[in-house]
Amino acid sequence: MRKHDSMQTISAGATLSPWRIFRLWARIGLESFGGGSATTLLIQRIFIDDLRLLTREEFAQLWSLCQLAPGINLVAICILLGKRFGGRWGIGIALAGFLLPSGSITCLLAALYASIARFAAVQAVVRGVVPATGGLMLVVCINFLRPLFAGTINKRGIAFPRILTTVLLIALAVFGVIALNLSAILVVFGSAVIGALWLAPSAPSADPAPQETVL
Amino acid sequence: MINPFVYFFLFFKASLFSTGGFTNLPSLRQDLIARSWAAPANFGEAIAIGQISPGPNGLWVVSLGYFTDGYLGALLALVAITLPPLLVLFIAGRYTRIERLPWVQGAMRGIAHAVVGLLITVVWTILHQPGVNLIGWCIAGVACMLALSRRINVLLILVVAGVAGYFIYR
């Protein structure tokens, strides 16, 4: 990443060149060894921390939309960010950059793995990599938690009811999936219903995010 | 003989009625094994590849495509998992028209909580795989701390974890 990229702040209406979009997503696809956790973390680092094209809250909002879409959430976020910074063509370019190089390597690795999987050394390496991906996913969790707890501790004190609500809703989702074996889609929509009934503000927001910040 | 159209449809259908990278597995397993187009072992092998290969975990189906139908199968699987997430554009378009409504804002807050919960279940699932013992939990903790420090590239963290796994488990 060039130094000046990390220093500048780009406005909400910023666009990126097709080649830049392709390179960014190819980098995300190729550098994010370890699966979804590593990929999400890289997207956050590049678009939020390095390029400063998004805030954490904007990313969390886009990611929430992706939970409503079928299929791989990372592909959905790639589509949304591709459109936001490159329009319709940006979608195809972002997808091509994200999936073609990494998908090709995955295919070649499958061919290679088929020939060496029997070796103990390969199995040992995999046993080290798999838990590390769990640790990376935990970092992604923490990044998504931050906006939920934002403002709960300030000069006026600690907002215990809000903290308890947050913890309770998260625990309900975990319990639903792990203990009750509910489908992820059901948990997402159930949480949406609970949120609509319980977490809705008393009045419409006077200053909602502009449309451009979503797409 | 695998019919490529049916093969593609099975992957597409599994992705269309799933969320995330792994929830299409039960549908694929049921459909492909019923047609004798895949062996049960193919799924475990494909997921292992998905864990160590670049890109999203959902690309495990590319490995499954290769194991079951060679390079054509990998290509069909890749296209099949790319199309369903495009519906996010429809969802986002509708969302921008109703985002001012209080109940919508509440619903999105609720979903944000569910997202964190689902991510925790993924961490739980990863760390409860066969072969992940106390040492594995330590590797996860170190990887988490290193990533939180933001000083070390994610790829380097995984390389170090792989090297550690080699010396610990070989």
Give the C-alpha separation, A42 to A98, whole Å: 12
CB A132 within 8 A of CB A34: yes
Instruction: Write the burial class of residue A4 (CB in 10 Å: 0-12 exposed, 13-18 middle, 19+ buried).
Output: exposed
Q: Please tell me the predicted confidence (pLDDT) of residue B131.
A: 77
Q: Which of residues 62-121 of B touch A (CB under 8 A)?
A: 62-63, 65-67, 71, 74, 78, 81-89, 91-93, 95-96, 99-121
Assigned token pair, A51: 């390029």
Give the C-alpha separation, B148 to B63, whole Å: 31
Binned at pLDDT 50, 70 and 90, residue B170 comes out as confident
Assigned token pair, A178: 């792990």
Tell which wins on pLDDT, A93 or A200: A93
Give the C-alpha separation, B73 to B79, whole Å: 10
Binned at pLDDT 50, 70 and 90, residue A204 comes out as low
Binned at pLDDT 50, 70 and 90, residue A64 comes out as confident
ipTM surpasses cut 0.85:
no
Give the C-alpha separation, A176 to B114, whole Å: 10
Q: What are residue A158's DSSP bridge partners?
A: A153
Q: Give the best residue of A43, A88, A104, A125 to mutate against chain B (max B CB count within 10 A).
A: A125
Binned at pLDDT 50, 70 and 90, residue A80 comes out as very high
**CB–CB of B139 and A135 under 8 A?**
yes
Q: Which of A42, A121, A198 sits opposite B166 (nearest CB)?
A: A121
Give contacts of A195 with chain B, Cβ < 8 Å: 106-111, 113
Counting one residue from A and one from B, how many pairs have CB atoms under 8 Å apart? 399
What long-range pairs does A180-185 form, CB within 8 A, spacing at least 24? Answer: A183/B23, A184/B19, A184/B20, A184/B23, A184/B118, A185/B18, A185/B19, A185/B23
Q: What percentage of residues in chain A have a pLDDT greater than 70?
A: 84
Q: What percentage of residues in chain B have a pLDDT greater than 70?
A: 96
Give the C-alpha separation, B61 to B55, whole Å: 12
